Amino acid sequence: MKTNPQKTDPGFFVSLEHPEALIEPEKIIRAYFNSPNIGLCILDSDLRYLAINRTLAEMNGLPVEAHLDKTVHQVLGSVGWPLENKFREVLETKRPLNFELAGEFPFRTGKAHWTAHIIPIRDNDDKVGRIAGIVLDITAQRNLEHSLEQVGGQLQKETGKLQMLRDVSELLSSNWDVSQVFPKISARIRRVLRQEFASLALQDSGTGLLVQQATDFPLGKGLIPVVQLSSRNTPQGQVMQKREAMIFTQEQLRQFDDEIAKSMLAEGLQALCCAPLMRPQGPLGVVLLGSTRSAAFQADDLELMNQVAAQLAVAIENHRAGAEIEQLKRRLGEEQSYLEIGTRSEGQFPEIVGESPALRQALDQVATVSASEATVLILGETGTGKELVAHAIHRMSRRSHGPFIKLNCAAIPSGLLESELFGHEKGAFTGAVMRKVGRVELADGGTLFLDEVGEIPIELQPKLLRILQEQEFERLGSNRTIKVNLRVIAATNRNLEEGIARHEFRSDLFYRLHVFPIRLPSLRERREDIPLLIRHFVQKFARRMDRSIETIPIETMRALSDWDWPGNIREIENLMERSVILTEGSSLRVPLAELRPQLARTSPPSDRTLDEAERLHIIRVLRETRGVMSGPGGAAKRLGLRRTTLQSKMQRLKIRPEDYRSSGE
């Protein structure tokens, strides 16, 4: 039988091409007996050692003398039984046999690996009564191969981890919104850690609770709530407190008295690996992996989880920074828009600033009455723009070519008001050195505007009534009747009906003035016009003072919109003039300290805290009812509210019922 050459050690071959060369034991002994690398033994038909070289004896861990006349299993113990089976096979078949042997030898430490060549030895009668064993110790070679396999496996594992981290980095660089890209990130992690469940939770700065942002659980049964609010008594809460990655066993999970932990156990999760999203200012949240295998996560996985969590933390911080930058851009745009928004600069009322429905309604009345000759009574608080409306009525009337004469009845002493209104003749009273033409006569052919008409003394009111009825009057100190053709527009901030009740104002004069009343809304009733008015007055005074004002802070605009403006447009005009004077840069500086008494009456912080508590309570009930709002077991019934009231509260608190419905519904 021919066999291939077998390599025993570098540069040394045992040739089995001619086994007849080993018929004589002396030849075997001479060929291998003194080899320092190759073990040699000769056994009889009872498998007893007839001869053994020192090399094989050392490999067996016994001296040469301890082998002679003993069987293989007596020397090698349990390892010898399979060897004897091989030896008997050679005795029976009379053919050489090659094999490897590995095992724990009784007289040496550690596991040994041998390669053995068993050769039958024939006598002169061609009978096989002895066999020779040639043994090569390949323990070092096998240990090296095993080490290389371990290193290769570890290298492959580390390569997989690095590839996973690179994939996560690429995903996050393509989309900073971690909540959207998290399922893809979980799929990349699953290639390395083999988890079935992954979730991301971020800490709410207001409540301190961990709010679930994203979940990846393809094989889940739907027992874990979609919306989670994790407190400190949870695995996530412990990780946030200790600020280090942790592994939780199934037994540790059972120790948490928390609905989320119980739902994870119900889903069959037996191990968790959780890592905090750390940044210099503190943890932003946690990333959690879960597995249905009890030993899924090892201690060396914590470092990998920390690296993934660090990438997520940076991405979340970048996303928040980007969102904050966008918010600042929008805010700057809003602040600039306060000075860019258009005013009513075209159409019928270029001199009146505002677009609110209340103002439009009043201006529609102005447009309606302007074409007529009817007397108009303009009502409204002081500073609402009554004089501007009177000007607009005159400008739009058929008398626009005539004079527009105005008289503030409250600004002139009652003793001089008659002369100012109707005029006087020379010598009519002490000091009347010449004739004077009154405002009524000056308004002939045009419009007479009587501001603060409620301040006219009761004794002078009949003469004004005569103007309205007859369009005639006499100067003071004269009995000559003068005819005029004019239109009267009156304005007052007083309640003339109360004046009639107190006998301070004539009822017949009131009805003559009250032909077409127009009520101008206060600034409190048209808050949407406040930015327009601020822009108008800021630009007006900035041009006058040669200032460049580009923005108005949002907080400032919010404070101005919350102010009640008792002085109405006149007050806002005066405040803007002071503000432009105080402004040194490009952003308007408003002395808000003047408005503090009113601002102090706005909603206190406790209201916001109450809203937060109410929101969390409604969310908890919705989770318990799985989003069902009506019916005997619905959220409305449990909260003691009507369904419509609950819907209103949820809309105000930005709660969506569909977020809390189970997937099967």
CA 332/CA 352 separation, integer angstroms = 27
Q: Decide which of 301, 322, 343 is a domain's last residue.
A: 322
Q: Is residue 312 part of a domain?
A: yes
Q: Is residue 251 part of a domain?
A: yes
Task: Give me the domain span that covers residue 595.
Answer: 524-599
Q: Is residue 349 part of a domain?
A: no
What is the amino acid identity at position 177? D
More confident residue, 432 or 390: 390
**Is the same domain home to 462 and 437?**
yes
pLDDT at 657 over 80: no
**Is the same domain home to 187 and 276?**
yes
Q: Across residues 99-123, what is the average pLDDT?
A: 84
- Interacting residues of 616 by C-beta distance below 8 A, sequence separation 6+: 207, 229
Q: What is the mean pLDDT of the chain?
A: 82
CA 196/CA 186 separation, integer angstroms = 9
**Is the same domain home to 576 and 642?**
no
**Is the same domain home to 500 and 386?**
yes
Q: Is residue 143 part of a domain?
A: no
**Is the same domain home to 16 and 85?**
yes
Q: What is the pLDDT of residue 227?
A: 60
pLDDT at 146 over 90: no
pLDDT at 647 over 70: yes
Q: Is residue 328 part of a domain?
A: no
Q: Is residue 1 part of a domain?
A: no
**Is the same domain home to 292 and 372?**
no
Q: Is residue 665 part of a domain?
A: no
Q: What is the pLDDT of residue 624?
A: 78
Q: What is the pLDDT of residue 511?
A: 93
Q: Decide which of 520, 540, 564 is a domain's last residue.
A: 520
CA 158/CA 94 separation, integer angstroms = 52
Residue 80 — pLDDT band, cuts 50, 70, 90? confident
In 3D, which of 199, 190, 194 has the Cα closest to residue 286?
Answer: 199
In 3D, which of 509, 484, 486 has the Cα closest to residue 496?
Answer: 509
**Is the same domain home to 402 and 551?**
no
pLDDT tens per residue across span 308-360:
888 888 888 887 777 777 777 776 665 555 455 444 444 567 788 888 888 99
Least-confidence region, from 332-341, 521-530, 574-583: 332-341
**Is the same domain home to 278 and 181?**
yes
**Is the same domain home to 592 and 614?**
no
CA 471/CA 490 separation, integer angstroms = 16
In 3D, which of 582, 605, 607, 608 has the Cα closest to residue 593?
Answer: 582
pLDDT at 650 over 90: no
**Is the same domain home to 531 and 506?**
no
Q: Across residues 145-156, what is the average pLDDT?
A: 75
pLDDT tens per residue across span 260-295:
888 888 888 889 999 998 888 888 888 999 998 888
Q: Find the CATH number of the domain harbouring 569.
A: 1.10.8.60
Beta bridge partners, 42, equal: 51, 132
CA 56/CA 73 separation, integer angstroms = 15
Q: Decide which of 520, 552, 570 is a domain's last residue.
A: 520
Q: Is residue 144 part of a domain?
A: no
Write phi, then psi, for 29 (nearest 5 degrees): -60, -45
pLDDT at 509 over 50: yes
Q: Find the CATH number of the domain harbouring 194.
A: 3.30.450.40
Least-confidence region, from 9-13, 244-248, 249-253, 642-646: 9-13
Residue 440 — pLDDT band, cuts 50, 70, 90? very high
Write phi, then psi, for 284 (nearest 5 degrees): -90, -25
* CA-CA-CA-CA dihedral for 222, 225, 231, 237, to nearest 10: 40
Q: What is the pLDDT of residue 637?
A: 80
- Interacting residues of 416 by C-beta distance below 8 A, sequence separation 6+: none
CA dist 257 → 237, 250, 251, 569 (Å): 13, 13, 13, 61
Q: What is the pLDDT of residue 510?
A: 93
Total structural domains in the chain? 5
Least-confidence region, from 78-87, 358-367, 443-452, 639-648: 639-648
pLDDT at 230 over 70: no
Handedness of CA 614, 616, 621, 622 (dihedral sign): positive
**Is the same domain home to 80 and 165?**
no
**Is the same domain home to 102 and 169?**
no
Give the DSSP per-residue string, 114-169: EEEEEEEEE-TTS-EEEEEEEEEE-HHHHHHHHHHHHHHHHHHHHHHHHHHHHHHH
3-state secondary structure 407-461: EECCCCCHHHHHHHHHEECCCCCCCCCCCEECHHHHCCCCEEEEECHHHCCCCCH
Q: Find the CATH number of the domain harbouring 100.
A: 3.30.450.20
CB atoms within 10 A of CB 157: 12
Q: What tokens does 43 get?
A: 């056994």
Q: Find the CATH number of the domain harbouring 468.
A: 3.40.50.300
Q: Across residues 463-491, what is the average pLDDT?
A: 92
